[in-house]
Amino acid sequence: MAVGEHNLVEAVDLVREYRLGQERVRALDGVDLALPGGQFVSIVGPSGAGKSTLLHLIGALDAPTSGSIRVDGVDLGTLDDAASEFRRHRVGFIFQFFNLVPTMSAWENVALPALLDSKSLRRAKPRAVDLLEQVGLGDRIDHRPSELSGGQMQRVAIARSLIMEPAILLADEPTGNLDSTTGDAVLQLLSQVAHGDSGDSGAGTRRLVVMVTHDEHAAAIADTTITVRDGKIA
Ligand code: ADP
């Protein structure tokens, strides 16, 4: 790595092969990546190209068949039992269908990762409320997901992804379930999070946001677009 440069994701010759009976599928076929912080990156490409596989490898949800990947300074090849710890602290995840707990309020959903990290919900509440204010939901902290719109639910999910202060956010089709106006607002928020201008105590923290999308408009809002085709970066 060059002096003064800090790539949050560095992958070299990443291969992921699936075996289905006798058949082998090369979902990723030799991918190199170098992504610094402070960027909103979109991954696009046709269905089956390997986008989700790549996102899952970056998030240590899956392991490569060969090749190496370093995320936020951690060599994922050495993680083994520490993978869940890595996922809890180093990366935040945002999903198409929000994945909120329906019986919990907005602030409790945001605080949940802290609870799973053996902190009490109460202790995490001030930070959770802070984050909800940051995403424009300061007046919705006690609402359940069913009492929120799709865009608001995705904002809660973005606040939740930030509570452990990860350097990297990974978003899988974050606008896939939203209308275009609501989706745009969510994309603007992700862009602000990447650039460190989302305006709270954590302001100035530049993060890497990596989003998989098949929405061309969503990709256009990102700073950088990576096109994946047949398991390779095009
Ligand atoms: P994308 O996200 O671009 O649609 P994926 O990364 O989901 O593509 O999949 C890439 C390729 O790997 C596809 O051919 C898909 O069928 C295959 N694949 C993905 N997951 C599995 C799996 N668990 N078992 C077998 N094949 C898989």
Distance 224 CA to ligand 1 centre (A): 23
Please check whether residue 157 lies inside any domain of the structure: yes
Tell me, what CATH number does 94's domain have? 3.40.50.300
Q: How far apart are CA 219 and CA 99, in angstroms?
A: 23
Mean pLDDT in consecutive groups of 10 residues from the start of the chain, 234 residues: 68 96 95 96 95 96 95 90 88 95 97 88 93 95 97 96 95 93 93 81 77 88 95 95
Q: How far apart are CA 140 and CA 142, in angstroms?
A: 6
20 lines ligand 1 (CB under 6 A): yes
* Nearest Cα residue to atom 5 of ligand 1: 50
pTM over 0.85? The answer is yes
Please check whether residue 25 lies inside any domain of the structure: no
pLDDT for the residue 5: 53
Asked if 209 and 171 count as a contact pair (C-beta separation under 8 A), the reply is yes
24 lines ligand 1 (CB under 6 A): no
pLDDT for the residue 16: 97
Please check whether residue 131 lies inside any domain of the structure: yes
Q: Which of 161, 227, 149 is nearest to 194 (CA)?
A: 161
Please check whether residue 85 lies inside any domain of the structure: yes
Q: How far apart are CA 84 and CA 79, in angstroms?
A: 9
pLDDT for the residue 1: 43
Please check whether residue 144 lies inside any domain of the structure: yes
Q: Which tokens is 144 given? A: 């359940």
Q: Which tokens is 17 given? A: 């092969």
- 31 pairs with which residues across the strands? 14
Helix (H) or strand (E) holding 58: helix 51-58
Please check whether residue 141 lies inside any domain of the structure: yes
181 lines ligand 1 (CB under 6 A): no
Q: How far apart are CA 223 and CA 210, in angstroms?
A: 10
pLDDT in tens, 32-41: 999 999 999 9
Q: What is the 3-state secondary structure (H, E, C) of 185-224?
A: HHHHHHHHHHHCCCCCCCCCCCCEEEEECCCHHHHHHCCE
Number of domains making up the chain: 1
Please check whether residue 1 lies inside any domain of the structure: no
47 lines ligand 1 (CB under 6 A): yes
Q: How far apart are CA 95 and CA 173, in angstroms?
A: 7
Range of the domain at 217: 37-63+78-233
Distance 47 CA to ligand 1 centre (A): 9
Please check whether residue 16 lies inside any domain of the structure: no
